Structure formats: C-alpha cells, structure tokens
Structure 1
Amino acid sequence: MESHKLRIIGGEWRSRRLPIAEVSGLRPTPDRIRETLFNWLQFEVQGAFCLDLFAGSGALGFEALSRGALHCSFVEKHPKAFAQLKANVTSLKTDKAVLYHTDALQFLQTPPPQAFNLIFLDPPFRQALLAPSVAQVCQPAWLKAGAWIYAEHETDLTIDWQNFPLRLHRQSRAGQVVSVLLHYQTEDE
C-alpha cells in the first residue's frame, strides 16, 4: 500500500487512491483482506445499506459504495480521521455517504438511521469494543433480515459468536488480525 493512501480495489472507483489521516492506531484493512471479503460478499453488496462503524480510513465503506452499495453510514470519532473521511467523500463526489462524527458506542445508543444489510466492525484493538458493538447491532432495528456483519479483531481475543443471533460464515487470519464474516439469523431461520 502506498504510504498514507488507500486504494479502492474494485467497482466504480477501482484503483482510485484516497489519502488516509495519520492517526495513531489506525489500521486500514489491507487490500488482500478487502479483496477476499468482497469476494465473499459479491452477491450481497449491490443495493445494500451499509454501516462502517469505527470507520477510520473508510476502506470498507468506500469499497462497498464503489461496488454498488446504495448507502453507507460512516461513524468516526477521531477529528483528524473524520476530517479526512469528509474530504474523501467530497473528492469522490458521492451523495451515498453520510458521516457521523461521534463515538461508535454512543451512536449505537441512538435509534438507527435505517436497518442495514452490511455492517463493518473494525474497532481499535485491545479496548474491549467489539463484543458490546456486536451485541448492540444484533437488534432487529439495526439489521435487515439476512444481514451480514464483518468484524476484525486481534488474534488473542476470543468471542463466542454463539452468544449472538449470528452464524459464523467465514473466518481467516492474517498476521495478528482475525477476520470474521457473520450472517444474521432471524427467528424464522
């Protein structure tokens, strides 16, 4: 990856490079992992409503929009990362992105703007943010039937996904990062 640039891999903005804010702990999802994720989701992105919680660079949300998602809500609390997200939305000239400059867990305490088909959860590591985020988004108001949740976490974190109405669909590991794709199970499934 070019230093401090994010490359969109596929879709309308393929090969477009976007600046990334220099923020301590910001880990944009690498190209190879994003490519694998969007191969897993190839039939789920078109027309989807997405939430990129803990957006950071916005890598996952921008990739989804580039591949045909109808809308993406980006939530980021760090002022510098938020400003760069805003600049990148302007640069892409898209009206399909809505930005929220707030803490992710506080955002989850408010009514959702709509139910989502895809939620991307890539919280800062070692801050115990993933499990409470998953618990909150697993409410019917947040997820459409058959929705997908993608999460990244550090390898030394263990989460029992059976505690949630989710089915582990795919899992991979790259270095110190575990990536999981989860399918939301509604009561009638």
Structure 2
Amino acid sequence: MKSYAVPIIAGEFKGKLVEIPAISTTRSSKAILRESLFNTLQFDLMGKPFVEVFAGSGSVALEAVSRGASRAWCMERNREVYEILRANVERIAPGRIVTVWGDSFEEFGRVYREVEDLGGKAYFYFDPPFSIREGMEEVYDRTLELLERIRPEACEMAIVEHMTTLDLPERIGALELMKKKRFGKSSLSYYRPVEPDAS
C-alpha cells in the first residue's frame, strides 16, 4: 500500500513522522486543521483520555498523546490501514494507545465502556468518511447516533470533523454545539456536555 508521512506538530513526539496510507477512504486531517484543533484544546488535554473514533493512521490520537493526553484509543476497520496504525503506535508511543480493529460503529460501545471505567472525562474525536459516494449517505446519521450515546460525566468535549457544506445540529443528545471552524472543504464542530442544571 502506498503511503506518505506527516510530522507530529508539537509536544513529546514533535517531528516524529506518522505514516499515512494513500487511499481514497482515508484522509489525513490537514496540518492546519490539526494545529487549530490542538490550539483550541491547549493544556486542557493534559492527563485526559482521548478517543479517535475513525482513526485511519492515528495521526490525531498520536498528536493528542504527544501533547499530554493520558491515554488514547483508535478504531479502524480497514485491515491494511489498521496495520499502518498499529505500526505508527508501536514506533512512536508504545503502550500509550489502544488500537482496535473493527467497525467504529460496532466497537464504539466497548471502547466507551473502557473510558467510563477509567473515570474522569475524555475527549472524543469523530472524523467519519465523507459521504462523497453512493451508499455513504447514512454515515453522518450513524455518527450522530454515536454522539447521542455520550453522557456528560464521561465527556470533556466531542469534536466532529466534517464536510463544510454539512450543518450539524446545535444539540445532539446531552451535547451542545460550542463553535464551528471552517478549513476550506473541511470543518470542525466542537460540542460540550450540557450542564445538568441548564434548561
């Protein structure tokens, strides 16, 4: 499988190269987008768990761990891409990231329970495959269903990377939209749990 490499931007593993598979179903989050994401999270990420739901190469989770996330989980369904993900983790951050091979929609519940068992609040990053081809229209609907399952006591923030042309709901389950930032064809939407006393 053809691949290329992108560097980790900052933190403990700054400059280490993450191998990215060059296939149409896997897109690496652009450096400018990743930089903006972690500028938003800043030091709040320190000591917190991080979950990359549609991981691909794991570039976002590796960046999170590099910047102080306590632990991370990565889910990827494509076997060849998963092997690249696993190799990246073993080379850069062994023992710090749990890699899960399987459909994110099916594996999310198990990973979510592991995060809950740890206690504390985690960051969840969703970068579902863009629905650019026939048969992919339901991807965002199914992603919203995953977001609806996240409870406030287990979530610090949930971030969704999506097509800029798509407007996500202001409220998803117990989460409410905090801000949206555009990067050309891609955007990041940030969700925070609604406080229990909010109405």
Please report the TM-score for the alignment, with normalisation by the length of structure 1.
0.89
Q: Does 1:181 align with 2:181?
A: no
Answer yes or no: is the 8 Å Cα contact 2:54–2:76 preserved in 1.
yes
**How many Å separate the matches in 1 of 2:56 and 2:38?**
18
* One-letter amino acid matched to 2:176: R
**How many Å separate the matches in 1 of 2:153 and 2:95?**
22
Q: Does 1:86 align with 2:86?
A: yes
**How many Å separate the matches in 2 of 1:7 and 1:169?**
29
Match of 2:11 in 1: 11
Match of 2:101 in 1: 101
> 1:27-46, aligned counterparts within 5 Å?
27-46=27-46
1:28–1:161 distance in 2 versus 1, CA, 3 Å = same
Shift of 1:93: 4.2
Report the secondary structure of 1:43's partner residue.
helix
Q: Which moved more, 1:143-152 or 1:39-48?
A: 143-152
Query: Which of 105, 117, 122 is the matching residue for 1:117?
Result: 122
Answer yes or no: is the 8 Å Cα contact 1:23–1:81 preserved in 2.
no
Unpaired runs of 5+ in structure 2? none
Q: Which moved more, 1:52-61 or 1:101-110?
A: 101-110
* One-letter amino acid matched to 1:158: D
Please report the TM-score for the alignment, with normalisation by the length of structure 2.
0.84
**How many Å separate the matches in 1 of 2:150 and 2:93?**
32
**How many Å separate the matches in 2 of 1:131 and 1:42?**
30
* Percent identity (aligned): 26
> 1:31-180, aligned counterparts within 5 Å?
31-110=31-110, 112-115=113-116, 116-126=121-131, 127=136, 128-140=138-150, 144=153, 147-180=156-189
Q: Which moved more, 1:45-54 or 1:111-120?
A: 111-120
**How many Å separate the matches in 1 of 2:60 and 2:100?**
16
Unpaired runs of 5+ in structure 1? none
Shift of 1:185: 1.8
RMSD between aligned alpha carbons? 2.0
1:14–1:45 distance in 2 versus 1, CA, 3 Å = same
Q: Deviations over 1:126-165 (max 9, x none)?
A: 1332342233244356x54551011111123232132432
Match of 2:25 in 1: 25
Answer yes or no: is the 8 Å Cα contact 2:53–2:108 preserved in 1.
no
